Amino acid sequence: MTACMHDHAQWPGGETLGACRLLTPRTTLAALSLAREGRVIDLGQSVQADAPRIPPNQTPYVMSLSARSAATLKVRRAMGVENEVGSNLERVGMTMHVGTHIDALGHFTIGDRMFGNRSAEEVVGDQGLAELGAEQIPPIVTRALVMDLSGLDGGEHLEAGRPVGVADLEAWCARTGLEPREADAVLLRTGWGRFYMTDNPRYVAGEPGLDLPAARWLTERGVVAIGADTMAVEVLPGTDHPRILMPVHQHCLVEAGVHLIENLALDALAETGAAEVCFIAAAPKFTGATGAPLRPLALI
């Protein structure tokens, strides 16, 4: 199998885009050409009050109405407004890592080190990230490989703690005749998404996912994002638990500049049988945030 091996150490100084620098008008047009049927598949899970989360760092999604139509209608009548106009407005409190979301490059550190050899002491503040925040995640329109690995062990889903290794990825490539290439996204379906909002305690207690060698295998090929139908993309508990925690996050975000997309809804896409699709994901520009909610789409 031939592949373009990417050297992460070659990102220019002051780099903020990471691997997304590989996205070009050419890769965008190539991705759009994959849409043959004109079908749009929604890959986003819901964001709601009881959405799965891992406490204590991940706080719950909370919404309250700060203005109600009856009250605003009364105020506007007092102002002399003649038409019956009321409005409803809300306030929301949440971590950016609830529901389907994308991790910004500033989400993780290796000690004090952040992507681009930045110092966390200089970047991380009380009001968010001075660099590498969600506002610096560019819109992503690119080819995505849809690696459906859910049946590898003979069932409908992989089990928690089941690592997806290099051999699993290579076998999928051999079976489909496709392989990751520069500027691709890779979407991993493990079948674990079936527990999102149906069995949240199970969903967050552990998950199947990438081990570190498999993550490196993908980033070396120049992918810009890796997504999965799980909370963390990587296998939990990890393969060296409890001594090593979240090594895939450290490698992808800090060393490779590759975004992770979590809590994807991939079942409907898998039902189409599509192995490569046009993938679209645009993160809201929450300045200084360590991630952002996402409603990604697949065009087939």
56 is a domain residue: no
Phi, psi for 106 (deg, rounded to 5)? -85, 10
Position 164 scores a pLDDT of 98
Please give the share of the chain, as a percent, with pLDDT higher than 70: 97
Co-location of 160 and 69 in the same domain: no
Co-location of 140 and 202 in the same domain: yes
Co-location of 121 and 148 in the same domain: yes
Query: What CATH number should be reported for the domain holding residue 270?
Result: 3.50.30.50
Co-location of 181 and 66 in the same domain: no
**Residue 126, CA distances (Å) to 183, 292, 295 in order:** 34, 18, 28
Please give the share of the chain, as a percent, with pLDDT higher than 90: 86
Each residue of 111-155: pLDDT tens digit? Answer: 999 999 999 999 999 999 999 999 999 999 999 999 999 999 999
> Where are the alpha helices (H) located in the chain, listed in sequence order?
25-32, 69-78, 120-123, 166-176, 200-205, 212-219, 247-249, 267-272
Position 3 scores a pLDDT of 58
- Stated pTM of the model: 0.95
Position 46 scores a pLDDT of 92
Question: Which residues, 6+ apart, have CB-to-CB distance to 243 below 8 Å?
Answer: none
- The number of distinct structural domains making up the chain is 2
pLDDT grade for 33, boundaries at 50, 70 and 90: very high
Position 13 scores a pLDDT of 66
3-state SS class at 279: strand
Position 14 scores a pLDDT of 77
The Cα–Cα gap between 63 and 199 comes to 22
Co-location of 153 and 33 in the same domain: yes
The Cα–Cα gap between 18 and 224 comes to 8
Nearest alpha-carbon partner for 96 in 274, 276, 259: 259
Co-location of 100 and 73 in the same domain: no
Q: Cα–Cα–Cα angle for 134, 212, 144, nearest 5°? A: 55
54 is a domain residue: no
The Cα–Cα gap between 85 and 75 comes to 10
Which one-letter DSSP state was computed for residue 198? T
Co-location of 89 and 102 in the same domain: no
The Cα–Cα gap between 105 and 180 comes to 21
Co-location of 203 and 263 in the same domain: yes
The Cα–Cα gap between 97 and 47 comes to 10
Co-location of 161 and 266 in the same domain: yes
pLDDT grade for 1, boundaries at 50, 70 and 90: very low
Position 247 scores a pLDDT of 98
- Domain assignment of residue 279, given as a range: 8-46+96-299
53 is a domain residue: no
254 is a domain residue: yes
CB atoms within 10 A of CB 165: 17
Each residue of 193-246: pLDDT tens digit? Answer: 999 999 999 999 999 999 999 999 999 999 999 999 999 999 999 999 999 999
Co-location of 188 and 77 in the same domain: no
Co-location of 73 and 113 in the same domain: no
Co-location of 13 and 82 in the same domain: no
* For range 69-95, the mean pLDDT: 90
Length of the chain, please? 300
Nearest alpha-carbon partner for 254 in 209, 207, 215, 289: 215
179 is a domain residue: yes
268 is a domain residue: yes
Q: Which two tokens stand for residue 139?
A: 């819109």
Each residue of 244-264: pLDDT tens digit? Answer: 999 999 999 999 999 999 999
1 is a domain residue: no
Q: Residue 98: is its pLDDT beyond 60?
A: yes
19 is a domain residue: yes
The Cα–Cα gap between 201 and 196 comes to 9
CB atoms within 10 A of CB 42: 13
Phi, psi for 86 (deg, rounded to 5)? -125, 165
Q: Which two tokens stand for residue 251?
A: 């490698």
Q: Assess contact for 142 and 183: CB atoms under 8 A.
A: yes
